[in-house]
Every structure is written in C-alpha cells, then in structure tokens.
Structure 1
C-alpha cells in the first residue's frame, strides 16, 4: 500500500469505519499519518450524521481543527453506545438542603440546564445561581464551580444563551416583585482557551408590577417576556426600557384555565405555549429594534390541542431557522406531559413567509394513564431499535398507574428523559429514549401515526428523593436531576 500514490491511499482509508481507522493508527508510522489527515475526518462527518446530535454546516466544519473533528465523531459514537445503558454511578454535584421545613416549602431548584454542553446551570428558589464547568466525557467525572451567586432579595427566574454561545443572560426579580434585572456571564466557548475569573455583569433593570412573572428572555434582542394574567403579557426591552402589552386570544368557552407555560421569540413572532394551545403573536414594531422591519402586517396564529389534553409544563429544544429570499420558517420540538394521558413529543413549525402559518405535529407518544383516541402509535423501523414487543394502539394502555414528575429534551431533540414512579413501586426510575433521525427531521414523519416512544430504564432513585427538575445534554449524554430538597445529581 505504501507504493500507492498518497491521494489513492487516502481514498482507500476513507471507506473504512471509525473503529478500523483508529486501529490502523496503531500499525505503523506512515499509516498513522493518514489517520490524522483532516480531509479524512471531514469526509466522515456526513457519513456519521445519523449519530450526531445535529447536522454540522460547512461553515462550522471549516473552523474546526483535525483534533476537534475527530473528537466530535468519537464523542458521538461513545454517547450513542452508552446512552440507553444502565447508569450505576452517579455524581452528586450539590447536597440537599438542611432545612427542617422542606415538606412545606417550594422546590429548592427551579431550573436546571446544560449550557453549551460544557456547563450545568442551576437557578434556585432561594436567590441562588450556580454554574458548574463539566469535564470531557472521556475523563473521570468532575464538576468545577464556575459561578456562584446568592441573594436574599433577587431571585433568578429565566435564562438565555446568546446565538454565539459566548454570553449567558439570567433574569432576576425582586422579592417584592417591584423590579427586575438582567445579569450576564461570559463563557469560555473553546475547549482549551483560558479566561479570567467569570464576572456577573448587570446589563439592565426595569420595573415590574405584581402579578407579572418573567417567562423568557432573549440575550441577543435584549427582550424580556412577562406573563401578567390569562388576558395579556408584556414585552420589555431592558436596554431602551420600551415596553408593550399584548392581549392574549380569548380562551375557548370550554377552558377552565389556559395559562402560559413557556414563551420563545422566533424571528418577528413571539411563540406562546399555553395549557391547551400554542399561539404566535407578532413582535410590537416600536420595541423590536433588533428585528428587521416589515411592510406587511403579520396575523396572530393559533393551534389548539384536543380538548382532553392539558400541558402544564413543556421542555423545548433550540429553535431552527430556514430562511432565504422567498421563505422564512422556524421550528422546534417540545416534550410535554399530560397527567391523565402520558408523555407527548411534538414539533412546532412557524412559517413567516410566504404565507404565515402555525402547525403542531405529533412525533411520539408514551401512554401512561387513561385511554385516548387522538393518536395511534406506530412501531419504530427495525433498523432503528432493538427487537421489542410490538407497540399497542394508544387507546390500549398497559402501564396505567405511572406518575411522571420531571421530563426534558436535549437542545437538539435527539435525546430525552423522564422520571416516573408507579404506585406499586418503592423507587423512582429514570427513563431515557432516543429520537431517530427521521423523527428529528419531520419531513419524513407521518403525523397521523406518531411512533411509540420506547424508553429504557437507566437509573433507579430512592422514593424519598422527589425529582422535580431534570436536564439532558444531547452532545455529551449527561443527565442532571434535581430533587425537591435541592440536591443535584449528574448521571
């Protein structure tokens, strides 16, 4: 082989799989050199797209070194292999609270999230912010304290990572609900670069009035979204102090309550998730300085779930945007739980151009309580899952007494988890699942027959640890669990 031209040798090596290439590296010096060629790993990226948490664009791969490309592929392979395996070892990041009045208090951790895959963020109900730096998946586990903040008068309530992943913004509200402020933290976006000690910087402050609650913020546009009542919500620019009140669509007469559960800015629209509906409202023109001006008037859009469904909390992925001269479309996935029906995975598509529209497509279901005729579960393709008992129609429920306390999707919708407890069991179980590539890309999904979500139990938790919040990292395969008493564990 050494007598062949270099180009031909590389062509031959490019047909090998990753495991064989890494084995070839150990044979001799000359062949080892080929396994470090950048073009070889660039060619492997599209071939390994089925295990990557998200597709890598040409502009992204152009900035990555050979070692970084190799590390991305090796990490994706490792996570794919171990994701659904039982996790015997756990890492306690934060101890439980020592308060004697835990049972009558609110949860000690309100939000838990993996940020940029290198950090774990915790927002506490006692005015505490903790940010840990997480090490590489191939190294012995460690969590290094990156930022710690505590206040008796300012409570964290929302967060957002800017588009470049370099700045984390956190919104806080005054304990008397008379004001809000936004703090920012500069993050290390490289794997080896060194920054100085992280500093919390106050970027803006504005007045609020009870019963306003900050539901979401946008670090790039410098917007805060506040829900007021079931009748309206507020949009505030914390830099200019401009604000606007937007009236919510009237509830259906059959609704007893249709409160807001989550909000997200998607281009010129504000996407509002409510218990029974998903709605899109145009951003007010006089405060949207960071959004391009439009000559046409955008309509309000609404999608209503079946009347039997009530989603009190949703876990959202990052927003994707497909935009050109003729079209503009935003998309994201959501994982939600209905107390009486089970876990639902659906995709939200918001089209701005050419004709504004809003659609919600069911991608997967996991029945856990009572029968529901809305969705029929379709089996996974044989090449995407291990042999399992054939799924049953959604109206025929097997695990009818399961209570789900927490659930989460990864940022890219590749992986998800939920924490469940059966009436007959003395433990809680962490259930993990993987979404096949054709489910993440909804162009090939049959919305009339969403698949049955086949979860695998990966960890057991004592019943006394009431898990209220969880988080998932698609890229690293880490899972984080927070209990009512404030302990945080990483699996």
Structure 2
C-alpha cells in the first residue's frame, strides 16, 4: 500500500513512526529503503527528541539498559567530592542532560559543574547573585540544547524581593553566567517552573499561582497574571499548598499537598504592566483525602499529537513523598481536545508505592532468579545490618555488596528488631530523608535511614515500565486505596472526565481515589528497592539532604548539610 502512495505522503506518514519502525520498513524493499534515506525524516526525529534527550523514547523498551548490574555494584568506587565550590548553605541540586550539575546555595552562590567523562579537566563555574539570600530556584536547559537557564528568588534584608534570571552558553568553555533580567516579586513566593518556550517564570504562594513573562528583546517590561481559586473550601486551602507545577501549552498542571489540579492558562494582558488576580471558575481537580504530600518530583512533559482523534495528550510521571506513609508513583495523562469548547480530561493512575505504614496492602514484585546477573532483590526495603567499622573512619562512604544484602535479608526474624514489620517487606520503620527521580520518570533513588541508627542507605529502583498487574484476592481493598462505587457509577465518572469534575463556585468536590479500578482486583505494585551504597557517619553535617539523578548514565549527585557535593558513578 505504501508503494502506491506519492513519496511526499510516505514522508508525512514516517513522521509518526519511531526509529525502529523506519528501520524495519527500510528492509522491506529497495523503494522504501531509498525513501528512508531522506534527510527530512531524521531531522524531524532529532527535533522531536530534543525534549527527551539524552534518552530517546525507543530506549525504554530495552530492559537490559534499565537494570542495575551486579558486576557494576561490586566494583562501585567511592563518591567523588566536587572540590571547587562557592557557598555554605545548600538549598538544592539538579543534574541536567546527565552532564550539567547545578548547586544553589542560600548565601547567593550558584555553582555549575560539567560531569562529562570525556573532558580531561572538570569544568566549573559559579556566579554570586549578591548579598541577598536565595530562597528558591529552578534550572532548565533551553529547548535548543545550547544554553542553561537559572531563575532564583532573592530577598534583601530590607524586605525587598526580586527574581534574577541567568543563562549560560553550554558551548562556551568558560561557562560564564550572563544576567538576563531582574524583576520584582511579592514576598514569600517560590519559583516553581522556568518555561523557556513561553518565556514564563511560574511562582506559587500557598494556593495561588503567579505567571511572569519576561520581554523577548530583554528591554521591555515584564507581563504578569495570577490564578486564584476562591471557590474551593478556605479551611481546606489552609492545609494545602502548591508543591510543583508544569505549563502544558494552554493549561497549567498543579500538584498540591492534597490534590492535583488542571487550570487553563490565562492570557497575558499586553495593555497593562500587571493584571490583578482573576478567578478562573473552570478547573479539574482530583483530591487525595488521606494523604499529605510534602514533596514531589515531576518528569519532563511528553507531548503526543493525535490528529486522527483530534486531541493532544500530555504524559507526566511523578514521585510524591508522604513522610509518614511512603513514596507514591503516579502516571498522569492530560488529554486536550482540539475543539475550543471541549473540556480536557485528566487521567490519574497510582502505579507504584513504597509503603512505610501497615494499612496499605501491596503485592511484592516478582523477583528474578539467582542465575540472572541483573536480578533485583525481592524485598522492598533493606533492613539495617550491623556492619564492621570502615577502615577510613566513621565518615567514609563505601559500597555494600548486593549479594550480601540479599543473603541477609533472607535471614528472617533474626535480622533487624525481629518485629513483624521487619519480616514484611511492605512494612518498615525507616524514613526517607531525601530522594530524586530521573528526568523521564524511569528511575529513582532515595536516602533511607532507620530510626535509632546512623547508617544511611542509598536505595535505587526502576519505576517504568511497570510489571504485569498483580491480583490480591482474598485480601479486601483498603478504603484509602480502592473505591466502593459500583461499576455503573465508575462508568458514569469516566464519562464526566475520568473521575474528575469541572469545579465551579459552590460545587462539591468529590474525593478522588488513589486506585484507578474499584473492584479491588488490581493494586499498585510495590516499588522494589535495591541498596546501592551505604553511608556510616555520626556527624550530622554529613547527612545527605539533597540529591539528583542522571537517568541514563546512573550518576547520583549527593549534597550534605555542610554544603559539600559528591558525584557517585554507578556505571549503569
């Protein structure tokens, strides 16, 4: 059939295919082989993957590239301390494109390292924003991939709040920071996203959102617009706040302490310098009635065009932390129809849980056989084992062999305290001090510590793709995870927008469920954590407070309370 079509039509069809599909068609006949050599196809593929670099979409089907190798863990070298730095009080870490490490300090310093292994001498640069204190920041690589942008809020002792926007040309060996613009902001606002395609800096303060657009020529005035939600319960809003958000072309995705919301993006008023907050009556909202999330990591947004079905779909993957109940991995699909009068749909799936409480029933993910050199441990969390002291002092960081952890985890009640929570992999007395997720939401790791000990464990896991669904019959579903609605009621909910309603004034907000299926036959799978490294230290200044993950190379960036930054190369 393709042979009967004009070459221009075939090239247009190839725009919707992946690289593996194009290469398969190349092997069918000489005519298609010649067409696939057209430069137009490969330029479009490169442009579509800029937002997903350095890991292309097709690599997600390669299971071998996503697993932690036993051989790599056995030969793991100690983390390398990044010696050159400026600043004392670390407030955040980022690693972009698996190469550029950004560390921001509250005392006004922004550090940038090049972690490229091919560079003989590690490049490092910094900028001092002034005597003002930095309270929040966001760092992102421009869509062109040629420059890095950093935005930070600064507070002066006199109470003046400003936002400084910097950019760094990544092709410049000096990695020099260039000040793009400075504009005032209101007190107590935090930077939540830097969106270069729309020249937008997004801020939040409690439940309100402020969007500021910097001028294209960098010489005009900034434009601002706000989003408030007076229709929601004011008492409920006192206990919830915005944790993160993402701009999705004409909509804004908002993750709050107890809910997820989708708002239309308001238009910027070009006739006035600023615009007073105006309520937007229509919004989609999904509540978490029994959870209080304190942090969330959101992957890069994946956009998918569906011209035949006349809609565009955005996919986001999120790892949210409830400090009492554990880590929760969500996959959210936002479907935006092409029609102006049609409402978008918000589809939320709780895919995996790292449980730390006893009331969440979870199946254990199937373990791999011992003969597989890439096996993962069948336990969700690691008990803290008594280990001999390190030869390099109590503050040293050293690897722990995965085989040792696996063998000791099977020792039963004798390991740990001997309580029931130690024997059940989904029950643990540990807590997560900090965690990180990759830019595409496929991998994650966290720093785990058990109460009463000074041993900190770095635990890694694979989040995507998920395993096959696991049934839990005879255990009844938990009221916090499963729905008690009838199938007809759930079908009616799906017709109204996948369990979500358009919020209007004086409307009742239904409490959403964390489980996408109400019959109790399918539950989120238990995150299978694997100990990669252990840190033994009595010094509180060496506690890991911030971290970041390079998803493709497996680079782990660790920052402690004293402001030191370490790079742990896992080799996978």
Secondary structure at the residue paired with 2:245? strand
- In the alignment, does 2:212 pair up with 1:236? yes
Q: CA deviation at 1:315?
A: 1.0
- In the alignment, does 2:363 pair up with 1:377? yes
1:336 to 309, 320, 326: 320
Superposition map of 1:27-426 within 5 A: 59=43, 80=67, 82=69, 85=73, 87-94=76-83, 108-136=89-117, 143-149=122-128, 151-153=130-132, 155=134, 157-176=137-156, 177-188=160-171, 195-230=172-207, 232-239=208-215, 240-248=221-229, 250-251=232-233, 253=235, 257-286=239-268, 299-305=282-288, 307-325=289-307, 326-353=310-337, 355-372=343-360, 376-377=362-363, 379-380=365-366, 386=375, 388-389=377-378, 398-426=426-454
Distance 1:116 1:91 in 2: 19
Contact 2:358 2:427 in 1 (8 A): no
Question: Structure 2 length normalisation: TM-score?
Answer: 0.62
Distance 1:110 1:328 in 2: 36
Q: CA RMSD in A?
A: 4.0
Would the alpha carbon gap of residues 143 and 149 (structure 1) be closer, same or farther in structure 2, given more than 3 Å must change? Answer: farther
Unaligned runs of 5+ in 2: 1-18, 25-40, 216-220, 272-279, 382-420, 469-514
Would the alpha carbon gap of residues 210 and 146 (structure 1) be closer, same or farther in structure 2, given more than 3 Å must change? Answer: closer
Q: CA deviation at 1:178?
A: 2.7
Would the alpha carbon gap of residues 452 and 276 (structure 1) be closer, same or farther in structure 2, given more than 3 Å must change? Answer: same
Deviations 1:421-442 (A, max 9, x none): 00143211100011343479xx
Distance 2:452 2:318 in 1: 30
1:460 to 502, 521, 534: 534
- In the alignment, does 2:549 pair up with 1:472? yes
Contact 1:97 1:485 in 2 (8 A): no
Contact 1:134 1:142 in 2 (8 A): no
Distance 1:268 1:148 in 2: 34
Distance 1:141 1:460 in 2: 29
Would the alpha carbon gap of residues 451 and 252 (structure 1) be closer, same or farther in structure 2, given more than 3 Å must change? Answer: farther
Contact 2:93 2:546 in 1 (8 A): yes
Deviations 1:204-230 (A, max 9, x none): 222212132222221221111121333
Deviations 1:266-323 (A, max 9, x none): 111111111001111111123599xxxxxxx994111112x22111111111110012
Q: CA deviation at 1:359?
A: 2.3
Q: CA deviation at 1:168?
A: 1.5
Secondary structure at the residue paired with 1:126? coil
Secondary structure at the residue paired with 1:485? coil
- Larger RCO: Structure 1 or Structure 2 (Cα < 8 Å, ≥ 6 residues apart)? 2
Question: Structure 1 length normalisation: TM-score?
Answer: 0.71
Relative to structure 2, which stretch is displaced further, 325-334 or 251-260? 251-260
Contact 2:364 2:378 in 1 (8 A): no
Would the alpha carbon gap of residues 388 and 202 (structure 1) be closer, same or farther in structure 2, given more than 3 Å must change? Answer: closer
Matched residue, 1:13: none
Matched residue, 1:487: 564
- In the alignment, does 2:430 pair up with 1:450? no
Q: CA deviation at 1:76?
A: 9.9
Distance 1:98 1:162 in 2: 26
Would the alpha carbon gap of residues 247 and 219 (structure 1) be closer, same or farther in structure 2, given more than 3 Å must change? Answer: same
Secondary structure at the residue paired with 2:262? strand
